[in-house]
Structure 1
Amino acid sequence: MVVPEPGSLQSLSLWIGSVAMGLAALKFLWDGWSVRDPETQEYYVITIFVPAIAAVSYFSMATGFGVVSFDAGPGMGETVIYWARYADWLFTTPLLLLDLCLLAEADRNTIYTLVGLDVFMIGTGVAGALAREGQTIRVVWWAISTGALLVLLYLLFETLSEQASRLSADRASLFGRLRNLVIGLWLLYPVIWILGTEGGVELFGLGVETALFAVLDVAAKVGFGALLLRSREVWASDAAGSAAPADD
């Protein structure tokens, strides 16, 4: 195990991330505890699991379990990789996409395509992070993963947005805000990766890299969930309206 030095920026970022995610999961759980409508419950179940999974991931990294250190090859040397971060993303990012798809009332093919691209993106990112052949091959894997991300975000902006445009103005507006939040934040992940220690450029150190990822994770997970659930009346009223029997 590689336990972050207590009191370091790296350690503080991981513990703060763990606490923030855990508190968010408890808050979402509290707010949704009394919900009885099945469609509304669906949003809460998905959204609660996002920070809950992230909290466990951050706890594992803070305690030294979710991290490995190895020689990454020529030009890289000893490299610290938080593998639990990728495990977190592998589960939480599809859940975030599923929330967006439910909000947009997306068809199954769109959902499968977005989730498939997302899993491919994370998987190739893991390959890049764990590559031991030096910086060049890591950059190649980064380029493949980033390419998948760009295609995914394009589909969010085009295909999913087109489907959301058929909804009520309030629901479409909420979808647009959440979509823009996801696009804006997710575009920053590969930038931090390539400029930090994992990509080998090392414009900043592991402590700053860890802190930046923590800020992005909290904003992308807690911020997304808070905005979605705070606007419950938008999608809850739409669900109730669609379930209501038509007048004779």
Structure 2
Amino acid sequence: MASPTMGLEAISLWIGTVGMALGTVYFLAKGWSVDDPREQEYYIVTIFIPAIAAVSYFAMATGYGLIEVDVTGLGTLDIYWARYADWLFTTPLLLLDLGLLAGADRNTIYTLIGLDVFMIGTGLVGALATEGQLFRIVWWAISTGALIALLYFLLGEMTEQASKQPGDVGALFGRLRNLTALLWAIYPVVWVLGTESGLAIIPLGVETAAFMVLDLAAKVGFGFLLLRSRSVLSAASGHGATAVADD
């Protein structure tokens, strides 16, 4: 366990903790009266996303989610391993929400989740690599390659399947897909410019704040857009979930 953080870093982590906790409570309240089992799927999945993230941010804010890694040529780096644990669970859930909304078949969903887990896993290896900056950048490139492949399937195959959904459902999928693609494309940029790559063009406090803003938008913002319209979810539950279940 490393020491709790200070300054902008600490403020960002506590904002992330509170923001994710509030998002969890709000989504719970929104879904409390939902009775339709298929519609409940969206609420169950979406509630767990900020709930997991809130625990992760609390661990980082209190020093339990932080370790120090000695890297050849770079010295000691602070690495938030809890951030990767968060992403490993929450990003597949985000993709599952998109898959349900799109009425995507299981193979498409499994492919996206497989690429996602590969992306997060190789990113974690890069963050923990001790051999030097070059090795860290190589692992970042592998992880980013997986992200590019993931976005290819998201913008291609899953979007094609979503086009068969009713108008409002397809429009909502399009907004959430675009939000996800945009935000996820920024993550590797922050990583490579930040301290974890060794370049440290942006300091750890700014890097932590950037990841916090991205996480809140990608999780709480995503969930708010998804769950704000019961009528759209009702329409999606009558069409999209069937495609996944019957494939």
TM-score grouping bracket, smaller chain normalisation: over 0.9
Cα-to-partner distance string for 1:32-55 (whole Å, 9 max, x where unaligned) = 011110011100000000000000
Correspondence 1:213-232 to 2 at 5 A: 213-232=211-230
Query: In structure 2, how many angstroms separate the alpha carbons of the residues matched to 1:3 and 1:161?
Result: 45
Q: Tell me: CA distance 1:111–1:180, structure 2 relative to 1, closer, same or farther (3 Å).
A: same
4+ aligned runs moved over 6 Å, structure 1: none
- Conservation of the 8 A alpha-carbon contact between 1:3 and 1:62: no
**Residue equivalent to 2:65:** 66
Indicate conservation of the 8 Å contact 2:103/2:240, yes or no. no
Q: What is the SS of the residue equivalent to 2:224?
A: helix
- C-alpha distance 241-150 of structure 1, shift in aligned 2 (>3 A): closer
**What's the counterpart of residue 183 of structure 1?**
181
Return the offset for 1:238: 4.1
Decide whether the 8 Å contact of 2:227 with 2:233 is kept in 1: no
The equivalent of 1:171 in structure 2 is 169
| 1:73–1:107 Cα change, 3 Å | same
Which structure 1 segments of 5+ residues have no match? 244-248
* Equivalent in the alignment of 2:82: 84
What CA RMSD, in Å, does the superposition of the two structures yield over aligned residues? 1.3
Residues 161-201 of structure 1: per-residue CA shift (max 9 Å, x gap):
00000111111111000000000000000000000000111
For 1:89 and 1:104, locate their aligned partners in 2 and report how far apart those are by CA, in whole Å: 22
Residue 210 in 1 paired to residue 197 in 2? no
Structure of higher CA gyration radius: 1
1:2-21 equivalences in 2 (<5 Å): 2-6=2-6, 8-21=7-20
1:43-192 correspondence runs (5 A) = 43-74=42-73, 76-192=74-190
- In 2, Cα distance between equivalents of 1:241 and 1:137: 46
Aligned to 1:246: none
Q: Secondary structure at the match of 2:198?
A: coil
- Give, in angstroms, the shift of residue 204 of structure 1: 1.1
Structure with greater contact order relative to length (CA < 8 Å, sep ≥ 6): 2
Residue 232 of structure 1 deviates from its aligned partner by: 2.6
**1:119 match: secondary structure:** helix
Q: 1:133 to 1:208 in 2, by over 3 A?
A: same
- Identical amino acids, percent of aligned pairs: 64
Aligned-pair CA distance for 1:231: 2.4
CA distance in 2, matches of 1:165, 1:185: 22
2: CA distance, partners of 1:84 / 1:165: 37
Instruction: State the aligned residue count.
Output: 241
Q: Which letter maps to 2:49?
A: V
Q: 1:242 to 1:112 in 2, by over 3 A?
A: closer
Letter in 2 for 1:164: A
- Which runs of 5 or more residues in structure 2 are unaligned? 242-247
Change (3 A) 1:65 1:238: closer
Offset of residue 241 of structure 1: 7.3
User: How far did 1:3 drift?
Assistant: 2.6
Distance in 1 of aligned mates of 2:138 and 2:91 = 22
How big is the shift at 1:240?
Answer: 4.5
Per the TM alignment, residue 242 of structure 1 is displaced from its structure 2 partner at its CA by 8.6
Separation in 1, partners of 2:91, 2:236? 25
TM-score for both structures, normalised by structure 2: 0.95
Residue type of the partner of 1:42? E
Cα distance change, pair 17–238 in 1 and its aligned pair in 2 (3 A): closer
Q: 1:88 and 1:179 mapped to 2: Cα distance?
A: 20
Paired residues of 2:5 and 2:61 also in contact (CA < 8 A): no
